[in-house]
Amino acid sequence: MRTTRIQGRRPTASGGRADSIGRVTSNQSKHTGTAHRAPTPPPPRWAVRAAHLIPLTVLPSGLWRLALACGYPGGYTRQGFDQLHVHGRGLVYVVALSVLSEGLALLALGLVRPWGEVPPRWVPFMGGRPLRPRAVVGTAAAGAVLLTLFWAPLLWWWAIPHPDMTPAGRTVVGFLYLPLVAWGPLLAAVTASYHRRHRRTPAPAGSASASTPLPVASLDAHHPSRP
């Protein structure tokens, strides 16, 4: 009887080589799967100073309105002050306007601070989530335009008669409100700086990117092919 000998298939190096290549390719894909972006540069010094100047432009007029709420005529004649009706709802309006204006001015600091990119977690709906730069730039730019158009007429304050104010009060109040003219332009400048810093720029030379494959060592030396 003829005996048939069945030889077992000898494993080749191709299987181990393929596994090794697969592992390296998998690691490479994990490394390059995440988009590499250049880090956001810090704001220039002039932008930081401009952002801190914005709340100061609102402060003088806000303090003047709070003085009115406390009963101080603030440059008005007695009859003119009585016509303001700074009591009841009028009192609430004056105080709320001062606080709200200063709060809006302080938001400009977010354009040069980290919390303007990722709000604190206690902020409703947005806390802990990165803000989209386009949304921030669009909102700030629209605000800058509106503020500029709204406060620019203050440049002609002294050309408008104010019969309900004393001559000295008219002069002082004009200077207290005059800094508001700079609110819009300052916000526009800080917004432009924020936009330039958050534009998508290529990663620095030498950094890993998806278009630069990782070097894969030759595996033939470790897994020589067999006949």
pLDDT, tens only, 158-198:
988 889 999 999 999 999 999 999 999 999 999 999 999 98
Residue 166: C-alpha distances to residues 66, 172, 227 (Å): 19, 10, 108
In the chain, where the domains are located: 45-197
What is the pLDDT averaged over residues 136-157?
96
CB 220 within 8 Å of CB 141: no
Long-range Cβ contacts of 17-21 (<8 Å, 24+ apart): 17/219, 17/220, 17/223, 20/219, 20/222, 20/223, 21/216, 21/219
pLDDT surpasses 70 at 207? no
What's the pTM? 0.71
Tens of pLDDT, residues 66-104: 999 999 999 999 999 998 888 889 999 999 999 999 999
